[in-house]
Amino acid sequence: MATVNYTLRIDESDKRNAERIFKELGMTFSTGINIYLKTVSRQKRIPFDLATNYRYDVSADTSATASLVSEKENAYMALDGLLAGHDVDFDIEKAKRILSK
């Protein structure tokens, strides 16, 4: 698979937050971005809902914790399937340990 280098401008705090989350999931920032791009290509759409003037108040959602755990489990399952056969920097065992907490 041929790769290309690409430079883009992003907010520093957004990058820092994303790097932290990707690291918790056992992957590099580059792998996280590549997963996003592969998902866009596969689904032929932005892989989440876009809305204007939308605010989600997590504190008002009493099931937020259970929902986040479920989302992590679903994300792991999706990543496992999405990454099958691809050469990416993803530590499956680390992701399993994180999800088992």
Two tokens, residue 16: 């820092």
Question: pLDDT digits over 45-74, tens only?
Answer: 888 877 666 555 555 555 555 555 555 555
Q: Which of 13-27, 39-53, 76-90 has the lowest mean pLDDT?
A: 76-90
The reported pTM is: 0.51
Question: What is the longest distance spanned by two Cα atoms in the chain?
Answer: 46
pLDDT at 47: 87
Mean pLDDT of the chain: 74
**The pLDDT of residue 20:** 93
With tokens 């755990």, the residue in question is 69
Cα(27)–Cα(21) distance, rounded to whole angstroms? 9
Q: Which of 43, 38, 11 is nearest to 27 (CA)?
A: 38
What letter does residue 84 receive in the DSSP assignment? T
